A = this chain, B = another copy of it.
Amino acid sequence: MSGAEQAAGTGQAGAAGQAGQAGQAGPAGQVVAAGQVVADYWAAAEARDWAAFGALLAEDVVYEAPQTRERVRGREAYLRFNAEGFPGDWHVAIQRIVSQDRAAVSMIEYSEGDSSQFGLCFFDLDEDGRIVRITDFWPDPYEPPAGRAQLAGRY
């Protein structure tokens, strides 16, 4: 998945071996940093690989979207929310990941056809390195107040 590879290549995703990082125990027992778990999460979503996606989640994962006040509790419910709640030929590309200890934040570009949008997602991992809390934001474009038009350019 190009977004994840790109982020990993710039060193923004993951931080394996960094002191203080905690993450999921991999096949060989090594610790996987929170940033890498999040890169894997988006790669699995992009691939619609719900088995891989589910393996990254804690049984008691809680998803919250503060803008809509939606909340989903538990791995099975959250898998259904993703697999059934977002039909369509969408794609996600990781713009950046910042991780610290058992927390990580991703900025992604979500695109479908000609439209695209930023998605911002805060993740917390449990002691086993599985995602236990997700707080999700989807900021929409808006017009700035006229009162500060002289203070900022536009791009």
Contact = CB atoms under 8 A, between A and B. Distances in A.
Interface in A101-115: 101, 103-105, 107
Q: How many copies does the complex hold?
A: 2
Interface residues of A, number: 51
Interface string A127-145: 0000000010111111110
Interface of A: 12, 15, 18-20, 35, 63-73, 77, 80-81, 84-86, 96, 98-101, 103-105, 107, 118, 120, 122, 135, 137-144, 147-148, 151-155
Contacts of A68: 141-144, 154
A85 to B, nearest CB: 4
A13 B155 CA distance: 32
A106 to B, nearest CB: 10
Given A70-B154, A98-B98, 11 more contacts: A18-B19, A63-B152, A67-B141, A68-B154, A69-B141, A70-B152, A80-B151, A85-B152, A96-B103, A98-B122, A139-B140
